[in-house]
Each structure stands twice: as C-alpha cells, then as structure tokens.
Homo-oligomer: A and B are copies of this chain.
C-alpha cells in the first residue's frame, strides 16, 4: 500500500496533476507514514470501542478533563490511578463516568464493547491485593475480555487455590497477583498451561521492601511460563493479557 501511495504520487507529478511543491509535500510525511505510526493510530481511531488509556497519577483535574474531552468521541476512555477527589470533580463534567474506589480506575464507556471468546483469570493471594487485581480486571473488561476473578487464594492455604483449579485450567491467560513472598506465581505457573503474568504487589511490611521480595520471587519462579510486570502494575498486566487474548481470539 505504501508502495502504491508513492507510485501514485510519482505518476500524478509526471502527469502534472500535482505540482512539484505538492509532490514534495506529500513525500515529506512519508518517513512517518512508512514507519507505520500514523497509520496505526488512524486505525485505532476508526475502530470504535477500543479504549484510550490515561495514566492519571501526577496529572491535574484539568489535564485529565482535557484529554478525556478530546478522546471520548472516538473511543472509550480508561483513566488509571485517579484519586477519589479528582473523580468527584470530573463527575460534574462526565456524569456517566464510572469509578472504582478500590482500583482507583475511572471509566468512560460511550461506545459498545465487543466481547472476545475465552477468558482471563485474575488470581490474588490475599484480599489486600484486590486493588491491583481490579485495576487489571477493569482494564481487561474495557478491552473486551471476559474476566474470572479468583481472589484470596494464597498458598498458605493451598486448598483454596486447588478448589478453583478448574477456572485456572481453562483460562487463555492467568494473571497471578501477590504481595509478601509472591509464591502464588510459582504455584499457579506449575498448575496451568496458559501464559502466566505475575504482578508483585507492595502488600507486606519490613523485608518485603515495598514489593521487592515478591518481585524477586516472581522473577526467579521455578515454574516455566511466568513473566513479570512492575510492582502494583495491575493495568500493565491487564493490558498485556488483552494483547495476548486478542492474538488468540483473532
């Protein structure tokens, strides 16, 4: 297609239907077109329902509002790490915006979402990991993925996890979320054949060092098929699972 586009310009210039300046102008943008960036973005804008994502941390109410306004027409919008106070203000402008106080996630769902077949299992070690889990789950759902939530099944009480193993066995992707020693990722990784995305959380104290213990644990998982994202990065895990699921689904 790119080649056709260049051919076309060359021909038009030869035929005189565009001037030298016009041909030059058209070719000036080629490097970027050819890089494919703009095209991809264009495609995205065309497909309704594919959400745009705003990282809310460190942004002011006004900044978030402005970006939302520019996006809402052509896609659903996901804003992560939104403090409750910011949401209150934004709600006045976008009354239809949903907000999860647990996940600190705000969602503007103006466009229908097409649900993919299969599901992603989101598993947590404890109830304190649920905030991160919900960030992942809500991200997944907005991207059109079904989510099975399997919460509070930490390895200290193995029967809780094993009781839910059917859900794990049939997932397209499993997201394993745990703080403290993060052993959940290894145990889940040993149970399933699906790719496992491990999310260390900052849940813990003392020598958990804000999630470092779980992070190292997960990076050193003795089970194969496990990869890791940043501490507390529920969105990142959800986004990656969505990408994998999209590849699977299509």
Task: State the A residues within 8 Å of B (CB).
Answer: 3, 6-7, 10, 13-14, 20, 23-24, 27, 30-32, 34-38, 40, 53, 57-59, 63, 125-128, 154-159, 162-163, 165, 169, 172-173, 180-183, 185-187, 189-191, 193-195, 197, 200, 202-233, 235-237, 239-240, 243-244, 246-248
Contacts and interface: CB of A to CB of B under 8 A. Distances in A.
12 contacts: A3-B24, A31-B34, A172-B247, A181-B182, A195-B240, A206-B232, A207-B219, A208-B230, A213-B216, A216-B217, A224-B239, A247-B247
A242 to B, nearest CB: 9
B190 A181 contact: no
Copies of this chain present: 8
Contacts of A205: 57, 230-233
Contact of A128 (B14, B35, B58, B158): B58
B219 A230 contact: yes
Given A31-B35, A158-B35, A206 B219 contact: yes
Contacts of A182: 181, 183, 217
Report, nearest first, the 3 A-B pairs whose CB atoms are least far apart. Answer: A206-B231, A183-B183, A213-B216
B36 A20 contact: no
Nearest to A44: B193
A27 B13 contact: no
Contacts of A236: 224-227
A180 B31 contact: no
Given A181-B217, A205-B233, A247-B248, 7 more contacts: A32-B159, A36-B191, A156-B186, A206-B219, A207-B220, A227-B236, A227-B237
